[in-house]
Each structure stands twice: as C-alpha cells, then as structure tokens.
Structure 1
Amino acid sequence: MSGSEYLVGELRRVREMLGLTQEAWGERIHFSTSHVGSIERGERPALPDYLSAVDRAFGTAFVKFYREFVVGERAPVWYRPFIEQEGKATLIRAFQPLAVPGLLQTEAYARAVLMAYGVRGEAMDVALATRLGRQEILYRQPDSCQLVAVIDESVLHRRVGDPCVMHEQLTAVVAACEQPNIRVQVVPADAGAYPGLDGPFVIATVDGRSVGYLEGYLQGRVVENPDDATSLERTWESIRDYALSGPQSLELIMRTAERWT
C-alpha cells in the first residue's frame, strides 16, 4: 500500500470513528461534500490545504504524514533526493527564467505546464499532487521555509493556459509575497545578457549546507559537492545583481497581471 492510499484510508477511518457523515465532516473543515467524497474514493488527491483544514478541526497530524511519506513517492527516482532535501530546507533560493517556480504555481498554471509536456489522466493527478504538495513547506508552522525566487520578466508575458490562468497566477505570486518568508524579484527585459541564461536552478539550505538542483530536459541533477554548490551560489548572487528590488518587482508583476485581464 502506498503512502497516499494509506492516507486516504486514515482520513476515512477518522471521520467514521467520529461518527460524522461526509457532509458533516465537510462542514467542519469548510469543504464541500463532493470534495470529501472524491478524496475518499481516490478520485482527487488529498492536498495540504485539505489536510491542514482537517488538522485544525480535529487535532490530527495528516500534514506531517503527507510531508514525510507521500510527497515525492511517485516523483521520478532522480528527483526524489532533492525533494527530500527541499522538505527539510530552511531557505530555498530559486532562479527560473522560463516559468513561475513550482513552489509558487497555482493549480491551473501547473496543470497547463504539465499538459504541455503531454501529462494526462491519472499521471496528471499524481504530478499535480506532488507539485502542489511541495508548497506546504512555505506555510508549515512554526518552521516555515524561506523562499527567495528570481524570475525573468519573460515569465510574466509568456502565456501559460489562457489569460485568466495568467492573471490568477501573477496575482497569486503577489499575494504570496505578503508572507514574510516569501520574496520574488524580477530581472527586467532590458537587463540584456546575464548569467541566468544558462537555465533554471534551485539552492536549498539544509542543516547549514547548500544543496543545488539543476533542471534538465531529460532529467535534473542534484548538486551536493561543496565546491559546485559554492559556484552555484556565486551565480545566484550575480543574477540577483541584475534583478529589480522587491517592491519594484511586485509593481511590475501587478501591472502585467492587469494586462492579462
């Protein structure tokens, strides 16, 4: 039995143990009866927003179980080592010149990105659950992870999904930055050539050391060698030199979001 299957079974068991119907359970956690039913039938993944609501209402620890046993269980083998490090990180530094970083993607935006790669059906549900589930590290309490993301301005103008998806996504980025642990900066289009043209990467700070991840077309690569990690950090700092300040970046994102309406 997989971790996700066990999780669904435990959700159902707790509900039945408390003598609650799916409707009553949904009322307590502020989710619809149909949403509850689809999760218990395995038609919809149980994501952190749902699990957090259950934990708040009933004093359970389903989010902790999700983080430790479900996230990444069906991710590619080569990606799992970094997901494990990401889950323990106190700081994530992400550079993405092509798309909104996965930790900030809305469900609709993530779905459009995955569809572009030919992901469909059950594989889509699994991929979405993994991607959206990773975002829990930014909102966990009391030790939420700090995220500093730098994106290229082209990300704001590249249509992913339809205009509504883009407006929702850019608005969500601005809203996320209201959290004290999340910051996004934009490298403007007039910056010209800069070190980030080599492609996206992520640096996770785990137990005082840096672990990098380089995205690739066939598969990514985890960077644990201290010298290579230091080189990646130098590149990160060089890229930030080209970026707008936080307030300037948010202003640009908000202006662009309005153009997508």
Structure 2
Amino acid sequence: MIDDLNPDRSLWHLIAVEVRRQRELHHMSGNQLADRLEVDRSTVSRWENGLRRLGDTYAKKLDALWHTNGLFERLVGFATAIDVGDWMTDLSDYQARATRHRMWETVLVPGLFQTPDYARAALRVGLTNDSERALEQRLTRQAAVLDQPKIPHMSVILNWVVLAQPVGNAEVMRGQLVRLLEIADLPNVSVRVLEREAKEHCGLDGPFHLLTVDDKDIAFDDASMRGRLMLDPAEVQYFAVKYDRISDLATPVGPSRALIEQAMETYQ
C-alpha cells in the first residue's frame, strides 16, 4: 500500500509518508510509536499506509513528540479544509471496508445497486469523457462490497422520484427494479421508500452516504461535480441526524417492497 501513495497528488498521502519518515528519522518502531500515542499498532500502520487519516488530536501529539513545530497540525488542517482530488479512490476503499452502510438517494438508484444497463444509461447522459471506463469502475466498487463472504449491514432510503424517474428504456428500468428487490432480499440489507406524501423534508438538498469503518462513522456528501468525504465527528453527526430524520418519514420495508413492485408494472 505504501508504494501506492503519491504525495505529489494528495495531501493525505503526503501526511502518511511524513509520519513514516519522521518515525524512522527518530529511530522508533511502529510499536514504540503506538505505545507513546496509546493507540493500536494497526492504527499507526494505517496512518502510514494511507488507509486511515490522521486526526487533529494525534497530529498535535506527533508535533509535541517529535518537536515538528506544528507541521502535522498544519498539514491535517490544510488537507481537511480543501476538497482533495482523490476522493473517489478514498471512497472506494472505505466502501469496501465498511461494516455498515446508510444511504439516502434523491433521484437515482445508489451506484452500489445499479445494474450495468442502468448505470450505463445514467453515465452516458453525464459529462464523463469515458462512460465505459466509469462503468467498469462502478461495477468494481459494487463487487468489492456485495461479493464479500459476509455482506455488510446496508440500509438505503430511496426518494419516490427514484422509482418514477426513467433511466434508459422501460426494459432497463424494470431490470433495475428487479435488481433492487433481489438486493433487498439479501441478509443484512433493507430498502425503504420515502413517499411523495412526505412533502418537504431535510433530505431534499441531496443524497449522502454514511459508512462505519473500523468502528468509526464517516460521511460522503454526494454532488453533481465532486463529492466530499468527511471524517470530522461534528460533520458526520450532522448527516447521521439528517439520516435519522429521513428514516422517521420512510415507509417500512414490507410496504416499500410493494411500492417497488407497483413501480415495476409501469415499465412494460
């Protein structure tokens, strides 16, 4: 994993490389650093491999330990403040490692649940330069999550528009809704619908994804041009509360299944 880090491309990769460089410069083993910071050895390894982002608290501790004059605190601050360019790579890794997924979708079926035909139709109307390559990447992310020996806990809430908005022809839509029902039958998966009668609610401003990775929640705020990953607990809690409020309005699993089956009948 260390060989895959590119500090010229990502501030988070730079931080990972610098943690290891400073540790070796101070002649410390990973175990020794873990003991000094009172964390697991695996945590240090994940920092250095770029699999876990260094938080502000531990950045300050590293600066104090190695007398780096606020270097790590500044780097973490800059990396957190900007929209880093490798967010999709990070998201894919987090999705594959997550033990719990909570998703809210306003217009489209979640990418993890899309059929190839549905995904292709959705990607072709976008501004991507290579829709087939984007499709291949999407299917790879799906497989990394759904082809695991034990599927993670997944709860998705679909706005009613997802069922009503045609993507591709009727056959494509019908196949996609069949796929949704198949996924809803998988262990640990629930699919619910937020009906039109809910009227205005806090989810109208866009889709998002909550992930539990290494017993810690992170959030991904979707956007038309570029999404944003958030690890800050306050930001993540904002989306967790929003998800709970949307969930309070959503139709239960059984009636939601009936709504999906009813929508299928409109695509003949």
Matches of 1:181 and 1:133 in 2, distance apart? 21
Report the Cα distance in structure 2 between the residues aligned to 1:260 and 1:222, rounded to whole angstroms: 35
Alpha-carbon deviation of 1:140? 3.0
Q: CA deviation at 1:79?
A: 1.6
Q: CA deviation at 1:118?
A: 3.5
Are 2:120 and 2:132, in contact at CA under 8 Å, matched by a contact in 1? Answer: no
Find the counterpart in structure 2 of residue 165 from structure 1: 172
Amino acid at match of 1:177: A
1:111 equivalent in alignment to 2:120: yes
Aligned to 1:187: 194
2:251 aligned residue (227, 244, 259): 244
What secondary structure is seen at the aligned counterpart in 2 of 1:111? helix
Structure 1 unaligned residues grouped into runs of 5+? 1-75
Given residue 108 of structure 1, which amino acid in structure 2 is its aligned partner?
Answer: D
**In the TM superposition, what is the alpha-carbon distance from 1:144 to its structure 2 partner?**
2.0
Q: Secondary structure at the match of 1:156?
A: helix
What's 1:177 paired with?
Answer: 184
Q: Which residue number in structure 1 is paired with residue 227 of structure 2?
A: 220
Show the counterpart of 2:89: 80
Deviation per CA, 1:209-260: give whole Å up to 9, x if none. 1111011222111010011111110100000011000011011001111111
Residue in structure 2 matching 1:230, options 232, 237, 256: 237
Query: For 1:83 and 1:211, how far apart are their aligned partners in 2?
Result: 13
- Which is greater in Rg? 2
Structure 2 CA distance for aligned equivalents of residues 259 and 218 of structure 1: 31
The structure showing larger relative contact order (alpha-carbon pairs under 8 Å, at least 6 residues apart) is 1
Q: TM-score, normalised by structure 2?
A: 0.66
CA contact (8 A) 1:111 1:128 kept: yes
TM-score, normalized by length of structure 1? Answer: 0.68
Counterparts of 1:214 and 1:116, CA distance in 2: 21
Q: Tell me the CA shift for residue 145 of structure 1.
A: 1.8
* Secondary structure at the counterpart of residue 150 of structure 1: strand
Corresponding residue of 1:93: 102
Counterpart of 1:78, as a letter, is W
| Alignment gaps of 5+ in structure 2 | 1-84
Q: Which runs of 4+ in 1 moved over 6 A?
A: none
- Give yes or no for contact 2:154–2:190 (8 Å, CA) kept in 1: yes
Residues 2-34 of structure 1, C-alpha deviation per residue, up to 9 Å, x if partnerless?
xxxxxxxxxxxxxxxxxxxxxxxxxxxxxxxxx
Q: Is the 8 A contact 2:95 2:145 kept in 1?
A: no
- Determine the C-alpha separation between the residues in 2 that align with 1:142 and 1:103: 17
Between the two proteins, the alignment pairs up a number of residues equal to: 184
Matched residues in 2 for 1:87 and 1:133: separation? 10
Q: Secondary structure at the match of 1:244?
A: coil
Cα shift at 1:142: 2.8
Distance 1:141 1:173 in 2: 18
Q: Which residue pairs with 1:102 in the alignment?
A: 111
Q: What's the counterpart of residue 16 of structure 1?
A: none
Query: CA–CA distance in 1 between the matches of 2:166 and 2:189?
Result: 24
Question: Counterpart of 1:197?
Answer: 204
- 2:70 counterpart residue number: none
Deviation for aligned residue 1:129: 1.1
SS of residue matched to 1:125? helix
Percent identity for Structure 1 against Structure 2: 30
